[in-house]
Structure formats: C-alpha cells, structure tokens
Amino acid sequence: MRRAIDSIATSGDPRAPTILDALTAGRLSTRSNGAPVIRTDAGVVDAETGAPVPDATGLRPVRLNNAVRRTLEAAQGAIRLFAPDAATRAAAAEAVFKSRDANSLPALDRAIAAERDASVRTLMAQARAAALLASADSPEPDRLGAVATLAARGDLEARSVLASLGPQPAAVAVAAAAAVVSIDRMQQVWSLLQGAFYGLSLGSVLLLAAAGLAITFGVMGVINMAHGEMVMIGAYVTFMVQEAVRAHAPWLFGASLFIAIPLAFLASGFLGVLIERTLIRFLYGRPLETLLATFGLGLVLQQAVRTLFGPTNREVGTPAWMSGAGRIGGVTVTWNRVAIIVFAVLVLAALMAVLRYTSLGLRMRAVTQNRRMAAAMGIRTPWIDALTFGLGSGVAGMAGVALSQIDNVSPNLGQGYIIDSFMVVVFGGVGNLWGTVVGALTLGVVNKFLEPVAGAVLGKIVVLVGLILFIQRKPRGMFPLRGRAVEQ
C-alpha cells in the first residue's frame, strides 16, 4: 500500500493528485472486479481515467491506517512541490518541514532545482534541512549545513526541530544546541519587540482618547465627564457614514473612514460648543459641580443614543486595506493597529499645530494664560472658551472613528475610556500635550508588559493602584506646569 502510494506520487501523472486527495478523503473505492474508482458528488468515476462509471455496484472503500496516512501526507506534499501556484508550493514545503520525512528528499532536491521564486526556494531549503537531519544516512557536512539553515530561519518551529533531533554526530549535536540558544535569544528580543508594539498600540489608543481631554481638562481646566460620550458619538458617526456608503456608493467603502473623520470631528465639536454655551459656562470656577453636571449629561447622551440606535452593538466594518496582519521580522503587526498609531500621531501633530501656529490657537493660549489681559486686548473670551471646548470635543469624536475599528460600538463605548483618559492626563501633567503623549505611551507599554506576568485584569489593577500612589507622590503629574499658572 505505502509502496503503491509512493509510485503514484513519483509517477508525475496529472491524475495523481486527484487520486491521492480521494484516498485522503476516503472517497477511493475498489469495484468488485478490483478496478479503483472515485466516488464524487456527481457520481462514480474511474480513478485512472476520470471517465464516469455508470454501473458502480459492490464498492469497497480503501481503508487507511495511521502509517499509511503519514506516507500519504508526505506523498501529497511531494506532489504539491511542483504545483503551478507558488502559494501551494510554499504550503507543501511547510508540510514537508513539519513531517521531516526523509522520503521526500529526492522530490525536494528536484523541486529546489526547478524553483524560480526565491522565498519559496528558501522554504524548500529549510524543509530539506529538516528532512536531512531526520534522515538516517545523510553525511555530517550536510547535517551541519542543515543546522545552519534552520538557525537562520530562527522561529519556534525551527527551534523545535533543532531541539528534538534524534541521534546525531557530536559536532552536529553541539552546533544544534548552540543554534537553539541563539534562536532563544532572538525569540526573546522578538517577543520584547512584540510587547512593545502592543504597548505602543494601546498607548496610541489611550492617547487618542485622552488628547481631547488634554484640551478640555488640561488646558481649560474643565472636568468633562461626558468626554467618553463624545468619543462614542464619533464612533456612531462612523457607523452612520458606513451605512450611507453601503446604501448609496458601495465602491467608496474603502474610503468611508476618511469621510467619517471630518464628520465625526464636526458632530462632536458642534455638540461640544453647544454644551459649553448652555451648560459649562455657568459652572466655571466650580469644578466639582462641573463634574456632576457633565456626568449627568453623559448619562443623557448615552440614553439618547440607546433610544435612537438600540442597546446592542452596531456593526462597523473595517476597510480591506486596514484588515489583516503582516510580519516584520518576528513581530506580528495588525494593520488596523498600525493605522491607529499613525492616526494618533497625525491627530496630535495637527492639534499641536493648531495651538501653536493658528490665530485661534494663539487666542486660546492667550485666554488660558491670562484671561483678563486677553479680554483687554480685544479677544472675545467667551467665544474662545466655546471654540476650545469644541476643539477638544471634536478631537474626541475623531478618536471615536479610530476606536470603532477595535472596540464594540455601543452606547457604553465611552465609559470604558473615561477613567483611563483622566489617568493619562493627570499622570502626564495637566496643561501639557507632551505630558499626555508620554503618559499615554507609558501607561500603554507598562500595561502590556504587565499582562503576560500578571494577567490582563490584574495588570490593569496594578497600573491603577500604581497611578493612585503616583498621584499622591506627585499630585501634578510627571510634567507639572511651573510658575504662576500653578497657583489656584
């Protein structure tokens, strides 16, 4: 049986893959006269020719045991090494790598000679190395070369091959052990980098959520507990934009987020101006009352969204260019996380540019630094207050667009971020955008590095308790404002 499979596999017959597939799937049978046939969904066909067999009776399925099944898998791998599709060939090489079947060495050698695609050839060479080391009769120099090839591959699978070699010549065993150590070291570096990426990603999310708060709380000193709801509204704007795009212009779907960003900014920003004019301006100088009133406002907004859109999560799609993941070295990066990191950087740069280079930013800074002097210079301070608050809220809305890609879009979306955002702003130091950046990234990275050690929830608790203690050591954050503005 195993010899038969090998002869089919090495025959080069175009029907060979079909027959072996049928054997794997348990569809290969023999007729009463011994002729092999394949049962397909359309009917019974002759295994050798593919011609239909009309009077198929007395079929006996060909049974497999585990030894035969392993031979079969190797044989299928060998056949696929010559498939016209590069992805199939790569998968076949990986299969051989995993099975480490010495029988596929001749097929691999032929395949490597014929291969045009460099990356597939590398995979095949690695598979060949694994098979060489597993084979009983390969010479020592070949084995040493194989160890070097696997060490260069450097991932966990290569490590497991090297760590589980059978009896080897002494020199090969030593080389393999050294390779395992070097792979372990590389893996540590990669996992550190992977953790850093996760941390950076969480940090950028925190940064986005906190950037608006850094304006309203940090610069204006207004405690806006409805900040999370501004983020939530931004996410719902994304949802509505996508619904409209799906209904009227499906070809625009890839760009739907770019349409949503300015709209979310305008929606949340406009709401922010409205809130400032109707509520917050009556409460300046009374921070605790502001806190309570805006908390109430947050409840109203949540319930309003719940009434309008229902309490369940809304489906927000991810454009094709943002989905999926890639590998950079040993680090897996998901494209939506990368997009959010880039977006956070852009939002922050834009925010700083607005504050520093525009006339509005100049007025904002003037009003926060010395209100009366600014008013005396002819700045309409109430309008600047409203616009500053609108800017902070608008940034929160843009954060909502980003968060809609990684979190559930539900009326409770904002609640999950509000405590974290305040922590970031307070940790970084009130009134200082750079402090917010450092605060967000520190919290993100610390959180992600604590997670493997302590678990996700405990890690978060440790961070919170650490923050509570930190604020008590340094009540004004890492980068406190100095000078007159500090005095209350």
Partner 1 sequence: MSSRITLLLVLGGALLLAGLNLLTSGGHPLHVPTYVVSLVGKYLAFAILALALDLVWGYAGILSLGHAAFFALGGYAIGMHLMLGIAGRGQYGAALPDFMVFLNWKALPWYWHGFEWFGFALVMALLVPGLLALVFGWLAFRSRVSGVYLSIITQALTYALLLAFFRNDMGFGGNNGLTDFKELLGAPLSADRTRCALLVVTAATLCGLYLLARALTRSRFGEVLVAVRDAESRTRFLGYRPEQYKLVVWVLSAVMAGIGGALYVPQVGIINPGEFAPQNSIEAVIWVAVGGRGTLHGAILGAVLVNLAKTILTGQFPDAWLFALGFLFIAVTLFLPGGLMGLVRPRRAPEPAPPTPSRVVREA
Residue 181: how many other CB atoms lie within 10 Å: 13
Which one among 65, 66, 359, 488 touches partner 1, defined by CB under 8 A?
488
Q: Cβ of residue 424: shortest distance to partner 1, in angstroms?
A: 11
Q: Any residues with CB less than 8 A from the CB of 277 and at least 6 apart, and which?
A: 386
How far is 258 from 339, CA to CA, in rounded Å? 12
Instruction: Determine the interface stretch with partner 1 among 99-107, 206-214, 283-291, 334-342 (rule: CB under 8 A).
Output: 283-291
DSSP-derived letter for residue 311 is S
- Bridge partners (DSSP) of residue 331 are 328
- Bridge partners (DSSP) of residue 85 are none
Tokens of 402: 């980003």
350 binds partner 1 (CB under 8 A): no
**Consecutive H or E run containing 61:** strand 60-61
- C-beta closer to partner 1: residue 174 or 304: 304
Q: Is 5 exposed, middle or buried (0-12, 13-18, 19+ CB in 10 A)?
A: buried
412 binds partner 1 (CB under 8 A): no
406 binds partner 1 (CB under 8 A): no
485 binds partner 1 (CB under 8 A): yes
Which one among 296, 326, 329, 452 touches partner 1, defined by CB under 8 A?
296
Instruction: Determine the interface stretch with partner 1 among 26-34, 62-70, 280-288, 317-325 (rule: CB under 8 A).
Output: 280-288
Which one among 208, 220, 399, 443 touches partner 1, defined by CB under 8 A?
220
Do the strands 28-30 and 60-61 form a parallel or antiparallel pair, or are they unpaired? antiparallel
DSSP-derived letter for residue 44 is E
Q: Is 157 exposed, middle or buried (0-12, 13-18, 19+ CB in 10 A)?
A: middle
Helices and strands, number each (H, E), in the chain: 19, 6
309 binds partner 1 (CB under 8 A): no
Instruction: Determine the interface stretch with partner 1 among 55-63, 69-77, 106-114, 462-470 (rule: CB under 8 A).
Output: 462-470
467 binds partner 1 (CB under 8 A): yes
449 binds partner 1 (CB under 8 A): no
Which one among 223, 235, 259, 413 touches partner 1, defined by CB under 8 A?
223
Which one among 306, 313, 360, 383 touches partner 1, defined by CB under 8 A?
306
Which one among 11, 303, 332, 358 touches partner 1, defined by CB under 8 A?
303
- C-beta closer to partner 1: residue 59 or 291: 291
Which one among 144, 173, 186, 471 touches partner 1, defined by CB under 8 A?
471
For 380, phi and psi rounded to 5 degrees? -80, 90
CA quadruple 111, 115, 118, 120: dihedral sign? negative
Nearest to 232 by CA among 391, 389, 402: 402
DSSP-derived letter for residue 476 is T
- C-beta closer to partner 1: residue 77 or 218: 218
- C-beta closer to partner 1: residue 394 or 411: 411
297 binds partner 1 (CB under 8 A): yes
288 binds partner 1 (CB under 8 A): yes
371 binds partner 1 (CB under 8 A): yes
- Which residue do the tokens 């120099």 mark? 141
142: helix, strand or coil = helix
42 binds partner 1 (CB under 8 A): no
How far is 319 from 321, CA to CA, in rounded Å? 6
Q: Cβ of residue 126: shortest distance to partner 1, in angstroms?
A: 42
Q: Are 222 and 280 in contact (CB under 8 A)?
A: yes
401 binds partner 1 (CB under 8 A): no
Nearest to 257 by CA among 274, 234, 283, 225: 234
- C-beta closer to partner 1: residue 328 or 377: 377
Which one among 289, 326, 353, 356 touches partner 1, defined by CB under 8 A?
289
Which residue ranges make up the site for partner 1 (CB under 8 A)? Answer: 220-221, 223, 279, 281-285, 287-293, 295-304, 306-307, 368-372, 381-382, 419, 422-423, 426, 457-458, 460-461, 464-465, 467-469, 471-473, 475, 484-485, 487-488
